[in-house]
A = this chain, B = another copy of it.
Amino acid sequence: MANDDERLERLQGMLRQRGILLPAFDLYGGAKGFYDFGPVGGRLRSRLNQVWIDHWLSLGNIVEISCPTVTPYEVLEASGHVGEFSDFMTVCGQCDEASRADTLLEAHHPNPDALSQSELQSLLTKVNPDCPSCPTPEWSPVVAQNLMFSTTIGAGSSGRPGFMRPETAQGMFTSFPALYRHFRERLPFGAIQVGKGYRNEISPRQGMIRLREFNMAELEYFIDPNERPNHDFSSWSSHEICLIDGDGVSHSMTLQHAAESGLIRHPTVGFFMGKTFDFLSSVGIDGTRVRFRQHASDEMAHYASDCWDVEIHGSYGWIECVGIAHRGCYDLEAHETATGKSLRARREFSEPKIREIDGWTIDGGVAGPAFRADAGQVKTIVESFDADVEFPVEVTLSDGRNLAVAAEHVKRVQKTVKETGEWFIPHVVEPAFGIDRILWHVLDHAFEETEKGGEPYRMLKLADSVAPIDVAILPLFEKDGMDDLALELHQLCCSTSGLVSLYDGSGSIGKRYARSDEIGVPICITVDHQSVEDRTVTIRKRDDGSQTRMSMDQLPFL
């Protein structure tokens, strides 16, 4: 473990020194929970995002959208975030440092984040844990602290409360009408969004794992719960993956088997698990360090019917990097309820249904004047009554008021209707990706420590798909025309679409190779004296150190 911690420190030091990941606002003493993607890390991040986008767009029924990060209060109240997106906090009266109560109690309980507010309070009072910032802790009562960054939209008295979004998902839900129209009212379809999410952590730790501002990538895939999808699992048929079920039991089986046996409860969840595995492999995550962990029923949100975490193993142990959840109709229904607007899809019956109606409706001429603005609600309630109800009946409105509906307000309805289809709230399967956590593990898995000439030697064996610099152009010396030729080649690379080249003329060629290896450049091209004569250059490959001489006018990637 000590070894691992030292490796982690060396990796972090290298990432910082090489301009890959740096603590943000470092000039100003830093701000916990914020990172910069530096001159090398910036493109790593944008390439990773792009691979993710292309991966999902290639399914053919998925579109990319982009919604604001500033979000009005009402939207996040409907989604449940105002009420439930919180951690339990306590503040040390001696040093004013806020801490998560469960974090303080980690040494005193096997699973403190499952404790309720009162359980946390009792345990805190009992053990009086150490304060991370001062020697004499004095803990305030445990309170629920909402984790959204709050702000005000507009100024003065016309300002209204808002938050920075805690996830990108809500944008896809509130865009449902536009999506449904775009896809010509045919399920299934999905929408993806890549962007910032915000979580005002009480006390961030673990570097890139727990950030206050993070890069998210989410897919919301809308399905008809009555249709059994027919996904093709064949590309994973020879691959047994590690699945840990809700009881903590580990299984090694193929995705198809897991879906057929019922361990994975919906085929679309299983299909997205496979697609997620493919994505992670394509950006360089080591597949042997990936596992899928099913939520236990008491761990899962009450509305979810199945949820799998995709965990990746690295310097911090097993870390949840992706969550794949079957969310039922929860989200669309919540926004329907809050706004009164329909977020439904239509399903046509294979043959029309004939339905005998024998019940009640309101008599508009009497009920309208009697109930005024409530008449619509009363109508809905009355139409849900059986034929044998006896009036007057006391009904309860959505705001809790009671009204008496008398016989004069209603009339009997008896008719036969032919229905060709029906409206329903689509269900949603959501794969949600923490891009920073994945990016961290891409770096962690790519980081290789060896020795060269008795000295420690470090490299990043990044996948070509995400390597931030595609090629480094190195003149052996910056004289005798080597620099000019190297710059000519550099400009040629730069003008090739999608190719990023680094010109580096400073220091010994060995040091420049080492630096290129540390930032994961797959190919170095060296321009030497001979190059000036015959325009041949040396191609050096990062991963095996092999060197090949070839004409600079016939480079395969140009």
Contacts and interface: CB of A to CB of B under 8 A. Distances in A.
Nearest to A90: B156
Nearest to A74: B28
A35 B42 CA distance: 26
Given A19-B182, A74-B28, A182-B19, A38 B54 contact: no
Contacts of A281: none
Given A24-B68, A66-B46, A157-B91, A494 B39 contact: no
Interface string A14-58: 000111001011111001101111111111011000100110011
A218 B440 CA distance: 26
Interface size for chain A: under 10, 10 to 19, 20 to 34, or 35 or more residues? Answer: 35 or more
Closest 6 CB pairs of A and B: A39-B182, A42-B64, A42-B65, A39-B63, A37-B66, A60-B494
Given A25-B72, A74-B28, A156 B149 contact: no
Nearest to A16: B178
A323 B505 CA distance: 33
Contacts of A212: 70, 153
Interface stretch (A105-113, A194-202, A248-256): A194-202
Interface in A68-100: 68-72, 74-75, 89, 91, 96-98
Contacts of A98: 154-159
Contact of A70 (B34, B97, B175): B34
A245 to B, nearest CB: 33
A276 interface: no
Given A72-B31, A145-B156, A24 B67 contact: yes
A490 B58 CA distance: 10
A442 interface: no
A152 B154 contact: no
A515 to B, nearest CB: 9
Tell me how many chains of this kind the complex includes.
2
B59 A494 contact: yes
Contact of A191 (B39, B162, B497, B501): B39
A213 B36 contact: no
A96 B153 CA distance: 15
A504 interface: yes
Interface in A169-205: 171, 174-175, 177-179, 181-186, 191, 193, 196, 198, 200, 202
9 contacts: A31-B68, A35-B68, A60-B503, A68-B213, A70-B198, A70-B213, A150-B152, A155-B200, A184-B505
A482 to B, nearest CB: 16
Contact of A498 (B54, B151, B495): B54
A512 B71 CA distance: 35
A202 B63 contact: no
Given A58-B495, A184-B504, 4 more contacts: A27-B341, A59-B494, A153-B200, A184-B507
A36 B66 contact: yes
Among A70, A193, A504, residue most surrounded by chain B Cβ atoms (within 10 Å)? A70
A164 interface: yes
A118 interface: no
A31 B67 contact: no
A335 interface: yes
Interface in A315-348: 335, 338-339, 341, 343
A498 B36 CA distance: 28
The secondary structure that dominates the A interface is mixed
A497 to B, nearest CB: 7
A506 interface: yes
Nearest to A133: B158
A116 B447 CA distance: 58
Contacts of A548: none
A52 to B, nearest CB: 12
B164 A22 contact: no
A149 B31 contact: no
A103 interface: no
Nearest to A494: B60
B64 A28 contact: no
A174 B27 contact: yes
A3 to B, nearest CB: 29
Contacts of A154: 32, 98, 200, 202
Contacts of A335: 27
A123 interface: no
A500 interface: yes
Contact of A25 (B75, B494, B495): B75
Contact of A57 (B27, B159, B494, B504): B494
A109 B67 CA distance: 37
B490 A60 contact: yes
Interface string A372-414: 0000000000000000000000000000000000000000000
A491 interface: yes
A548 to B, nearest CB: 24
B65 A181 contact: no
A85 to B, nearest CB: 13
B22 A178 contact: yes
A505 B156 CA distance: 51
Contact of A64 (B43, B91, B178, B185): B43
